[in-house]
Structure 1
């Protein structure tokens, strides 16, 4: 199963949700891979404890190989040898790198948008793949949406996020129509949810009434998230009995039920 976590709005918790769901899958014994397509590399740092300096050991090397195929012939670089083992059992990372930025225009002009899907179709070693994306609809996020089976949408409760959500749903409809008819919108994850505040509850109720695919599980705000980032430990390892960790467990159960 390949899941992409995507929203065109920044700061909604994509990397945090990606890494914590992946860590739970890995803890359950599933061989799990996180692919970091965000140039910022937050998921990479969260799971590996540092960003990877050598671009020949990251997803950037794979995309450079796609361009080399056009220039010199021969097979493009595969991703199998670029995958890093994390400190956590069953959890692996295909890291991001800043070199993704200058590659983007060349990849677009040569229409390499399906290369990630083609490569992942050949990858048989993993039970679960989670793809973290940049907070914009660009070559890398489109590649992820084309390669994925399911899409999770993080959402934080404010008016601007609501307007961005409508745009995002239209974007996903276009991706499904043009490139990936099998992409399933698995649901919208309400992040930073304050259950005692009136506005978030009202906003969620209105979105449900509009027929948007809101998931029942919600993620509360907590300083534990920042602490786990600092320690480079997903919550299931850093604070296994914390309320927030249990919310991620409930979310994991819901999307796998």
Structure 2
């Protein structure tokens, strides 16, 4: 299973959701890989405790290799890094991804990520792909390579208006490039149950028939501590309310999609 976490709006918790669900998958005994396609590298820093700029053999090196013919290219597995958490690996981001994007697009390397993940298919039970907050080359590559798509949603009116365009973009990628791609659901993040606007917006999404997943993820300062210590919630405080919500969301996905 390859699952992309995507929203064109920034600040909705893509990296946090990616890393926490991936950490739970690995903690559950699944061989799990995170692909960090965002040049900001938040997932890389969250899981490794240091930025991609300090690492060798990052995704920037992987994509750069696709632009240059080599007699002995590196295998895809050489760009995978172990995290401190058992069963969890990452293909780390790097700031140079930003500069490479135009070259990759002009040389039509849009299927290279899918081909690379095909090479790793036997090594991992579950792959999570974190994406930039834009429908760019890297996001399209991820949607072409994935089976499922999770959409983080942070309960404001701007996010709601952007959601419809996002769903249309995903369906266009599905129609043109990847018939296996399915929107698994909308992940409600930073939910405040006592505030009227989040309740109203989420209720209306459900009434429209959109695939809103439960449970909703609470707003909590604990997640900042999780980021600071580079420990996903399951490893920082498994009994915390937010950790339990992530576990329940992971179970929801496992029941629906078998992973």
Structure 2: stretches of 5+ with no match in the other structure: none
Residues 122-145 of structure 1 deviation map (CA, whole Å, 9 limit, x = unaligned):
112111110000000000011000
**Which residue is 2:209 aligned to?**
211
Compute the TM-score of the two structures, normalised by the length of structure 1.
0.96
Look up the match of 2:44.
Answer: 44
Correspondence for 2:106: 109
Q: Distance in 1 between matches of 2:176 and 2:71?
A: 29
1:54 CA displacement: 5.2
In the TM superposition, what is the alpha-carbon distance from 1:55 to its structure 2 partner? Answer: 6.1
Task: Look up the SS of the partner of 2:129 in the other structure.
Answer: strand
* CA apart distance, 1:79: 2.1
CA change 1:208–1:24 in 2 (3 A) is same
Deviations 1:157-206 (A, max 9, x none): 01100000011011111111111111010000000111111111111111
Cα distance in 2, alignment partners of residues 198 and 127 from structure 1: 40
The CA distance in 2 between the partners of 1:191 and 1:135, in whole Å, is: 16
What is the 5 A alignment of 1:160-171?
160-171=158-169
Alignment of 1:53-92 (within 5 A): 53=53, 56-69=56-69, 74=71, 76-92=73-89
Give me the TM-score of the superposition, normalised by structure 2. 0.95
Bigger mean CA offset, 59-68 vs 47-56: 47-56
212-221 or 11-20, which deviates more? 212-221
Among candidates 128, 149, 152, match of residue 126 of structure 2: 128
State the SS of the aligned residue for 2:213. strand
Q: Which residue of 1 aligns with 2:170?
A: 172
- 2:150 is paired with a residue whose SS is strand
SS of the equivalent of 1:167 reads helix
Q: Runs ≥4 in structure 1, deviation > 6 angstroms?
A: none
How many Å separate the matches in 1 of 2:228 and 2:195? Answer: 28
- In the other structure, the counterpart of 2:19 is 19
Distance 2:66 2:109 in 1: 7
Supply the RMSD in Å over aligned alpha carbons.
Answer: 1.1
Q: Which runs of 5+ in 1 are unaligned?
A: none
Deviations 1:178-236 (A, max 9, x none): 11111010000000111111111111111111111111221000001000000000000
Check conservation: 1:68, 1:76, Cα contact below 8 A. no
1:63 deviates by 0.3
Cα displacement (A) at 1:77: 3.7
SS in 1 for 2:67: helix
Give the whole-Å Cα distance in 1 for the aligned partners of 2:41 and 2:210.
Answer: 30
Distance in 2, Cα, partners of 1:53 & 1:135: 20
Q: Which moved more, 1:36-45 or 1:210-219?
A: 210-219
- 1:141-220 equivalences under 5 Å are 141-220=139-218
Q: How many residues align?
A: 254
* Distance in 1 between residues matched to 2:172 and 2:71, nearest whole Å: 33
Give the secondary-structure state (helix, strand or coil) at the position aligned to 1:214: coil
SS at match of 1:3: strand
Partner of 1:240: 238
